[in-house]
Amino acid sequence: MYIIRWFIKLITISDKLINGTVATQLTASLLAVSCITVTFCVNLTMVQDKANGTRKDFDVSPVSKRKIYLGYFLSTVANSLMVNGFAFILCLGYLFKMGWYMNIADVIWVLFDMILFVLFGSTISSIISFPLTTQGQLSAVGTIVSAGYGFICGAYMPISNFVSVLQKVLSYLPSTYATSLIKNHIHRGVFSEMERKQYPNEMIEALRDTLDCKPVFHGNVVSVNQMIGIMIGSIVLFGVIYFLVTSILEGEDKG
């Protein structure tokens, strides 16, 4: 750390690069939280339909309950993608103003990350919203998710700043790698610019560690490809759970 501080004193970092680094961190954190919390807000329509009696109309229609719940899921995905897509456009404008270091590939990768995020959030929110039946339960879940998710995923505060015990616990949660995934892609241009200007590798690696771009599981750094695999596996797992829950607990009494 002494060497890093010594190098920093000798290096002149442009305001654009500093502002760009901060802006990418804020954007990644915003999207990491928004892609999940929005899916919960949208998917709570399932609960509202039960609370206000709208589901009774669906239940007497010649449509299977499996298709009804599939409809809830697909509408959650579609609406969440639209909302978060618009948010991403605004974030790109913010990045362009503060310090732009992304290329087309980076933007496409972030869009891919957002799709994984939304699918991940939609499967989890569908499972959690399924047993809820009242407006009070709806409000409680929405408040808990909105207030707590940003902390456990490392958006509000980097997980590297947490105590070691909490870091180990959070390393078992897919949300940790989801946030790190989008941070890696959105910060790529910033780190490339630092390397182009030949800043010390120690400083760049320390920054990567601080911003949670190199999450560790049981002492091993998790690569970007592994993070993608974790996200896809989680989506499939929770998707199967949602399918089984809606099929078994609700029953399949219509064709």
Q: Is residue 4 part of a domain?
A: no
* Total domains, the chain: 1
Domain that holds residue 223: 15-248
Long-range contacts of 88-91 (CB under 8 A, 24+ apart): 88/31, 88/114, 91/27, 91/30, 91/31
CA pair distance 121, 115, nearest whole angstrom: 10
Q: Is residue 8 part of a domain?
A: no
- Residue 27 tokens, joined: 């954007």
Q: Is residue 9 part of a domain?
A: no
Length of the chain equals 255
Q: Is residue 1 part of a domain?
A: no
Q: Is residue 162 part of a domain?
A: yes
Q: Is residue 118 part of a domain?
A: yes
Q: How confident is the model at residue 11 (pLDDT cuts 50, 70, 90)?
A: low
Residue 220: strand, helix, or coil: strand
What is the pLDDT of the chain when averaged over all its residues? 84
pLDDT in tens, 78-134: 999 999 999 999 999 999 999 889 999 999 999 999 999 999 999 998 888 888 877
CA pair distance 33, 9, nearest whole angstrom: 35
Residue 217: strand, helix, or coil: strand
The average pLDDT across 212-217 equals 88
Q: Give which of 161, 125, 132 is closest to 146, Cα–Cα.
A: 125
pTM equals 0.86
Q: Is residue 255 part of a domain?
A: no
Q: Is residue 6 part of a domain?
A: no
Cα-to-chain-centroid distance, residue 220? 22
What integer pLDDT is reported at residue 249 of this predicted model? Answer: 66
